[in-house]
Structure 1
């Protein structure tokens, strides 16, 4: 089942889709580094991102 993540940051409409949560998280990290360089990717932020991943 495909996993989907919509960027949780206000005003950002990026969507990530991948086959596994790990792939989504890797793409989310790339997105954060390129589009949200001010965002600190600590464990709390990673958990917040994981909680927004949905099955589609």
Structure 2
């Protein structure tokens, strides 16, 4: 079953859909670097991302 993450940055409507959490986090890292360069993907931010992933 696919996994989905909606961007956690206010005002950003990006959605990532992949098969695994690892794939979502990889795509999210690229999205953050390109669209939110000020966002630091520290341990707390990664945990927040994981908490917002849902099955679709």
The equivalent of 1:44 in structure 2 is 44
Q: Which runs of 5+ in 1 are unaligned?
A: none
Could you list the per-position Cα deviations for residues 8-45 of structure 1 after superposition, in whole angstroms to 9, with x for gaps in the alignment?
11100000000000000000000000000000110000
Aligned residues: 56
Could you tell me the TM-score, scaled by structure 1's length?
Answer: 0.98
Question: Partners in 2 of 1:48 and 1:36 — Cα distance?
Answer: 16
Counterpart-to-counterpart distance in 1, 2:40 and 2:9: 13
| SS of corresponding position for 2:47 | helix
1:32 is aligned to 32
Question: Structure 2 stretches of 5 or more lacking a match?
Answer: none
